[in-house]
Structure formats: C-alpha cells, structure tokens
A and B are shown apart, each in its own frame.
Chain A
Amino acid sequence: MSLQLGTLEEMILIILLMKDETYGVEIAKEYKNQLGQSISLPAIHVVLKRLEKKGFVNSRMGESTPERGGKGKRMYQATNKGYEVAQEIQHARTKIWSTIPKLNFSIA
C-alpha cells in the first residue's frame, strides 16, 4: 500500500479522524487550535480534494447556514482506508523514531 502522504495531508487526515464528520472552516479552526498556526482555506480545499481522489476521505453536500452566505457545506469523513494509512504512518514513524540514539548523560 502506498504511503504517499504529505505532511499537511497527514495532519488534515488526522483531524478528520478526530471528528466524526467535518468541513473546511472547522478543519481550519482545529488546525489552528492544535498546531497554533493558521492555514488558508484554499490550501485545505486542495488537500481535501487530493485525499478524496486517493480514497482516504469521502464527502457529501451538507446544509447551509446564514453566515456562509447561504452556501452549502461539503462534509468530509475519513474512510477505513484513510484510517489504515494514517495508522501505518504512525507505526512506521514510531519505529524509526526508536532507532534515534538516546541522549546519554553518563560521563564515560
């Protein structure tokens, strides 16, 4: 299975896994909340489209609200495949991380 996933793609996939079902602005809020960095919506949109194309998320049109100027939301949900990929990356990363030499404070 391909692990081709960019850092931003991974972050957003994880945010999607955190939530049951979510959309662009909420992802932006969560991203800022978790990482303390703001992110532009077009960047999120690109990533979502890419994830959807790879089959890691799927989406449906949701209801509209007045603060959206009457426009509908597109709700995204991570797929099982998405979960697996994310998990696999975490495993692989933990494994590699463990091979980093530990700091050694002993004088010898």
Chain B
Amino acid sequence: MSAEKHPPKWALRLLEFFLRPDYADEIQGDITEAYYWRMEEESRFKAHFKFILEVLKSLKPTNLKSFYHLSLNTMIFRNYLKVAFRSLLKRKSTSFINIFGLSVGVAAFIFIFLYTNQILTFDDYHENKNRIFMVYKERITPDGTQETYDTWVPMKDRLTESYEQIEAAARIYDSEARIKKSNQYIEEDIIYTDASLFEVFTFPLLHGNPKDVFPNKNSIVLSVEMAKKYFDKENAIDEELEIFLPDEDTTFRFRVSAVIAEIPENLTHQPDLMIEMEALPFYGDFANEWGNSFLDTYIMLKNGGDEAQLESAFPELVESIFGMETRENTNFKLLPMADFYDTFIGNKANARTLLWIGIGILFIAIVNFMNLSTAQASKRAKEIGLRKVLGAFQGQLRTQFITEAFVMSLFATIIGVGLVLLLIPSFNAFFDVTITLEVFSLSEIIMMILALAIVLGLLSGSYPAFYLSSIGAIEVLRQRLGFGGTKFRNALVIVQFSIALFLIACTLIVRNQINFMTQKEMGFDSEGLMAIRASPSDFTDSEVGMNKINTFKTELASKPYVKEITKSRHVPTFWSRSFTFVRPDEWTGDPLRMRFTFLDANFFDTYGIAIKHGSNFLPDTEGDQRLSVILNEAAIKAFQFDPNEQNVVRVGETRLNVVGVVEDFHFETLQNEVAPTLMLHRTAESGAHRNISIKMDMSNLVERIEEIEAMWNDLGSTREFTYSFMDDRMQILYEDEERYLGMVTMFSVISIVVACLGLYGLTLFIIEKKRKEISIRKVLGAEVSTVLKLIFGEFTKWVAIAFIISVPIAIYFADDWLQSYYYRIDISWLTFGLALVIVLALVILTVGYQSLKAASANPVKYLKDE
C-alpha cells in the first residue's frame, strides 16, 4: 500500500488528544475502517473528504475529554496565574507603566485600524469589484497624457454592442434635484442612471423588484434615508415626489419604485435619488451626442474577462467614432474600481502610512514591556532561583513568564478597547470622520481582541521569558547576577527613539507643507471676498430668474458695504471643468485642450488680480465682447506667445483677440499646477454666470449677511441662500491634509508619551543599579554635574544613534509624500534639528528628575548596607 492511501495522521492524532479515552478506540477504529471501505466502494477523494468530515463531526462535546483530562496541568497553570497577578500588584509602578502604555498603544492602534480599514476597504462592498471598471479618456499631448473621466451618453451602448466580454454597463450623471415639499424646495443630490446599475454595483433593495427597478417612465429609486426623510417610513413604494430638475428647468412627478437598503459609508457612490436616464423626455436630445461628454460610464467584465485585452481594442473604437485623426491623440482606458478612491477621493498611501504609525506605537509599548521585565530580572532573580532549585524546568518558567505577559496584555487590550468605545464620538467629531465598531459583528470583535491580546502577549513576553528562564540558579543564589540583556535592551531603546524621531520629523514636515499651501499667495486678494451662488436655473422659470438675479445684483451694488461686485460662471476653488480645443492663429500643430470660463469686466478688479500685459475687458456698458479673450500667464506660456504682441487664438473657426494677460492666480489646491485658462467676457446681465462675488466691508458681518439673505429669499428661488467666503473655501481645500496632519500629530504625541513612560521606568532601574557607583564617586569627590553626565551620557548616545537611523528613513517617506504636490516645500535640516531638540528635551525631562535626585542624594544612605 502506498502512503497516500492512508488516512491523514494529524486527524487521528487530533482525535487521540481530544476524545474521551473510553470512546477513542471505537471512533478512531470505525472511521479508519470506513475510510478503506469507502476507498474501494467510492473514490479516494471521497473517502478522504468524508474521513475529515467525520473526524470533525466526532469532535462534539459529548465525545470530548473533560477539561481536566487534557494533558495540561491545570494546578500549575493556576499557580502561574496567581503568581502573575501577584507580581502585577507587587510592582505597581512598572505594572502601571506597562498596562497604561500598552492600553494607550492598543487604543491608538484600534483607532487607526478602524479609520484606515474604512479607507483601505473602500468600495469592497461591491460583489463584482474586481470586474468593475470606469471607462475614461486619455489625451496624448506633447508633454504627457491628460486624463478626463467624463464620457458620452451613447458610449455605454456602443461598448456593450462592440465587445462581448462586457457583461453589463451603466451610466451615472450626478445632478441636483429640488424636492417640492409644501411650497418649499429642498436640495438633494440625484443621479440619472440605468437599470443595469444594479447589475454592475451592489445596491441591495429593501423594497421593490430588483429585476425591474424602473418599471415606468416616472419611476424613482430612493435610499432608505430619503424614504424616511420624505415619507417617515422605509416602505415608500408607490409614494409620489414632485421634483424640480434645475438642469432641465422642469418639474416632474415621480413615483417610488424601489428603496435601497442601507449601504456602508465607504463607497464612491452613495445614491440618494435615482431616476432612469432614458425615461427622461429630453434624453432624445443626447442619445447620439458624441460632442459633449459629461457623464460617467462603468462596465462590468464577464468572469475571466481581460481588461488589458479590451483596452488594446479601444483605438479601433476611437477611430470608428471620431475618425483617424482623433485616434492619434485620444484613447480610452479602464480605471479599476480599486483605484477609484485614489483617483477621485483621497490617498490610500496616507492611510497605509497611518497604519504603520499604529504598528509603531504598539511596538514602542511592547518594547517597554520587554525592557522593564528584563530590567527587573535582578529583582525577580530570587523567585526564579528558588523555583529552579525546587525543580522547575526552563520550559515551565517560560510558560510562567508568558502567562504573565498574557495577563497583562489582556488587561491592556480590554482597557484599550474601553478607551476606544469611550472616545469614538470625540474622535469622530474632532477629525470629522465616521468610524464605528459596527462594521464588525460582536464575535468578530471578540476574536480580534483575543487575537490582539495573544499577539501582544507573545511578542512582549517571549524575549523576557527566554531571558529570565535562562538565568542559572547558582548565579542567582550567589547574588552574582548582572544587569542582564543590556545590549538587546539598548538596541530596543534606540529603535523606540528612532520611531519617535521619525514621527516628530514627519509631523513637522506635513505641518510645514500645509502652512506653505495655506499661506502662499493665491494671486488674488481673498479678504472680505464673498461668493453667492446665483444661477438662472435656480428658478422655475430661467427667463424670470435672470431678471430677478440682475435686480438682486443692482440692489447689492447699491449697499454701502459692498465695495466691488462681479458676476462670473466660476469662482476660484470652484473653477471651470469645461474644456475646449484652442489653437493660436497660424499654428499647425495639434490644438491645445484648455479650460475656459466666463466673467464680467469687473472680475479682475473685485478679485484684485493684476493685469500683466494688455488691458482688461472694456466696461460691461460697452456690450458683449464675445471676440475678446484674456489669458493667464500659464496659457501664454503654453502658446509660446510674446505677451506684448497682438495675439489671436482660434476655437474652431472663431478667431478670438487676446486683449490682456493676467498674472497666474490659484483657483484650486496647490497640489496642482495652475492650468492655462481662457477667460471670456459676458456682460453681467448674461445668463452664463452662476456666481456673484462681492468685496465687502467686514464690519457688522452677521447683520449684513442676514440682510443679503432676506433679499435673496424675496426672489422666490428654488435654491436656499448659498454663500461662502473665499478665505473659508481655501481652508476647505486642505481639509484632507489638515485631518491627516491632526492624526499624525496626535499619534506622534501618543507614541512619544508611551516611549517616555518606558524611558522613565528604565531610568528608575538604571539609577537603582548604579546607586552604589554614584555613591562611591560622590564620596571620592565627584560633583553632581559629573554624576549627571554619567547618566545622561548614555541616553544622549542612544538618541544620537537613533537620529542617524531615522533621518534617512524620514527623508525618504517625506519626499515620497511631497511628490504629490506641485507646489511643495523643500525638506530642511532645521526640521530634523527641531525634532532632535524635542526628543532630547523630552529625554532630559523624563530622566532628569530621577537622576538629579539620585545624584544629589546623601551617599551614606546607600553605602551603609555593607
């Protein structure tokens, strides 16, 4: 018989270990016999499979040995526990440092884990996440590629018809809806989409038919929050909603056809209201529109579909739609769902860095435990020696010390979890995030806590257990024990210092970058600058709306506190995403793709943007200057224009005269370079504008805002009064960075506190160890300062080594992070100097008091024992 024809040995051993001895033979024997029988009757595979299944099934409680019969000696085990508790209580200060440090570390780690878990599992909820892609376009320009993510209405059908490896596709157009509720309009987000969205993404329905989510032309799907908000119940099927769609300037009645169940927070798409794109009356206008691209197209490949293969087929598609010329400079690409977060929302790398910081904090706390318990060796030596004399094996002692580590880490973990539960609301409020333990079930949480406690116990207990148990009984009893494990301990302390230095340096660098961005001149004067949203589409009748907005503007302009006023389509921080193709006159190369926006003649004065060359538009009273354009410096550079000449650019066949050039001003975060922009003139009365900006006198602000709000409300718009100050909007641009800085700072501080705690404990031991040395030195005439130098010398050496280790690592990481910013700071040596000073200061503070006390103590006190 070959070996593989036997039942697996491990399974039998498992039975041997756990089964009641009086049942064991029967069960093992029967199952083994049945294995051979089945192998003849059925197949080897089936026999094997059934064998394992039967082994597992046999391990039911009635068949098991009672706990006491397991070959664990419970008596000694209880003794370990008892001793563990006793030693915890006996050394209160070290136990406190250990447990407190570890629980803070655990709490910090859990916070970081919960937060980063949310980010790192972003969009994981969608069952087909590995097969979902967003189709986007890439424009190949002489200086690299430009990605844009909006696509055309007919794109979806074209894709599904052309490629059979696409299982389903869906479009999403984000828009806004004003829901009419008793003569009031409430703004909500709405998406125009396809029923196939429910095939591609995972949006389980609470009510409604998943096979037919949009049964009628006026069907609407709600999120459960919306159902509760508007109908006070979850089952809102067949209820009606009256919605004004500002994009289309019309009001529709919709009937609820389905309600989506609650979905996790960490999804790119959080639809509240969904209507079917094709059911809209104006769909026909866009159905074959290959000119304007404005919506997202998502595809789901069939199982086993290859995205690279699909991408390689796209150039053909581009050519068949747009012709040969476009094929040269445009391509379609697929963006995997896993990259949505990095592309549209934030930065997963930051989350990963945070996770490392969390592990670093835990490590610092673990090191504390290792250091303190080995340092205590001399104190516990008698206990160890006695146990050995009484016949304890090294293995038993090891178990004992590991038990102690477990008891401690279990305590610490439980306290840490308690801290997390207590502080989650404050954490969420402070960082404006929504982390929760509810994403895990209770059993998962308990498993994780136990796993964490076991890992912590093993990590922190293994070295001390190994070290302490190896102490020889004779050395102990002769009191010859050294202050063992010194080298290893020093190395650990150096690692702690390195982590602390690294974190401090990184915090300082992140802080400097954010300060740099928020304080850098934006190129316009944001003081007292207020932007009010005002668009004709905010009114049920846009003709009337335009007139009303103009009245509103005239009224505003007449107020004494309004110093300047302008109307524009976009404002900085909410800048144009519309692009057009421009080529300078007599330019034969490819046209350049550029942003364009509309503004009135007063825009540059209101925003305090300097005109560098040429002149501003003529005053609005001179009428629409449609054939004039003002460029920013970035555009001049892109066109390689001589700014002093009369230049002409062409958009299609239209020739535009460049009348002026303005200084570059930043209209979005400094993460990006200032993009070339065409600024076209429209008079203040034009319907192209969507914002009114005013430069105002900032005194009595509250009353004035109330006054303006009252004026707006009189207009009868479907939009609530929406305003913001440019200064605030610029802050909001850096919200993510500020949050990141806040977290990095907080966790750095925690790691340093924990490290200092450990250092404090270690100092106590070192001083105790060196007490006699200090006393003798003093008797022989040493000054207090000499003695202090003795103690500090060692710590300074450690910090110096840690500095050398951490600087290159910090430079590497910080540089990597700064790479993503176009306008970035240089890493300065001052930062590292400051970090070093901070750590040294903390070390001196931590070590100082105890050292001073030791150095100035009366030497007689410690010498008279002998």
Which A residues fall within an 8 A CB radius of B? Answer: 23-25, 28-29, 40-46, 49, 61, 64-65, 67-69, 71-74
Contacts and interface: CB of A to CB of B under 8 A. Distances in A.
Interface string B7-35: 10000100000000001111111111110
B230 interface: no
B36 A45 contact: no
Chain B: interface secondary structure? Answer: helix
Contact of A23 (B30, B32, B57): B30
B26 A67 contact: no
A64 to B, nearest CB: 7
B25 A25 contact: no
Nearest to B51: A41
A68 B32 contact: yes
Contact of A72 (B7, B29, B34): B29
Interface string B33-72: 1101100000000000010011001101011000000000
A63 to B, nearest CB: 11
B7 to A, nearest CB: 8
A61 B27 CA distance: 12
Given A61-B25, A69-B29, A71-B25, A42 B58 contact: yes
Contacts of B50: 40
In the A-B complex, the 9 residue pairs with the closest CB atoms = A71-B29, A24-B30, A68-B29, A42-B57, A74-B26, A69-B32, A71-B25, A72-B25, A25-B33
Given A28-B34, A67-B33, A40 B26 contact: no
A49 B60 CA distance: 13
B717 to A, nearest CB: 73
B32 A42 contact: no
A25 B37 contact: yes
B29 A45 contact: no
User: Which of A23, A61, A74 has most chain B Cβ within 10 Å?
Assistant: A74
Interface of B: 7, 12, 23-34, 36-37, 50, 53-54, 57-58, 60, 62-63
Most buried by B among A28, A40, A42, A43: A42
Contacts of A46: 60, 62
A44 to B, nearest CB: 8
Contacts of B31: 41
B54 A40 contact: yes
Nearest to A29: B37
Given A41-B58, A42-B57, 7 more contacts: A24-B34, A25-B30, A25-B33, A41-B54, A65-B33, A68-B30, A72-B29
B33 A68 contact: yes
A46 B544 CA distance: 84
A35 to B, nearest CB: 15
B31, B33, B54, B57: residue with the most chain A Cβ atoms closer than 10 Å: B33
A101 to B, nearest CB: 42
Contacts of B33: 25, 65, 67-68
6 contacts: A23-B30, A41-B34, A64-B29, A67-B32, A68-B30, A71-B25
Contacts of B25: 61, 64, 71-72, 74
A42 B62 contact: no
A104 B584 CA distance: 100
A45 B59 CA distance: 12
A36 B28 CA distance: 25
A69 B28 CA distance: 8
B29 A41 contact: no
A64 B32 CA distance: 12
B12 A24 contact: no
Contacts of B54: 40-42
B50 to A, nearest CB: 7
Contacts of A29: 37
Contacts of B26: 23-24, 45, 61, 71-74
Nearest to B59: A42
Nearest to B30: A24
Given A25-B34, A25-B37, A42 B29 contact: no
A28 B53 CA distance: 16
Contacts of B12: 69
A40 B30 contact: no
Contacts of A49: 62
A81 to B, nearest CB: 22
A40 B53 contact: yes
Contacts of A41: 27, 30-31, 34, 54, 58
Nearest to A68: B29
Contact of B27 (A45, A64, A67): A45
Nearest to A75: B26
B27 to A, nearest CB: 6
Contacts of A45: 23, 26-27, 30, 58, 63
B29 A73 contact: yes
Contacts of A67: 32-33, 36
A73 to B, nearest CB: 6
Contacts of A42: 27, 54, 57-58, 60
A28 B60 CA distance: 20
A73 B27 CA distance: 9
A44 B57 CA distance: 11
A79 to B, nearest CB: 19
Contacts of B53: 40
B11 to A, nearest CB: 11
A67 to B, nearest CB: 5
B52 to A, nearest CB: 12
A44 B63 CA distance: 13
Contacts of B37: 25, 29
Contacts of A64: 25, 29
A23 to B, nearest CB: 7
A73 B29 CA distance: 7
A73 B7 CA distance: 18
Q: Which of B7, B34, B54 has the most CB of A within 10 A?
A: B34
Contacts of B28: 68-69, 71
Contacts of B29: 64, 68-69, 71-73
B180 to A, nearest CB: 65
B546 to A, nearest CB: 80
B61 to A, nearest CB: 11
Contacts of A65: 33
A100 B54 CA distance: 40
B572 to A, nearest CB: 73
A6 B748 CA distance: 66
Contacts of A24: 26, 30, 34
Most B CB contacts (10 A, CB to CB) among A28, A41, A43, A68 go to A41
Nearest to A74: B26
Nearest to B55: A42
A73 B24 CA distance: 10
Nearest to B53: A40
Contacts of A44: 30
Nearest to A27: B30
A25 B33 CA distance: 7
A37 to B, nearest CB: 14
Identify which of A44, A71, A73 gathers the most chain B CB atoms within 10 Å of its CB. Answer: A71
B307 to A, nearest CB: 45
B296 to A, nearest CB: 53
Contacts of B7: 69
Nearest to B58: A42
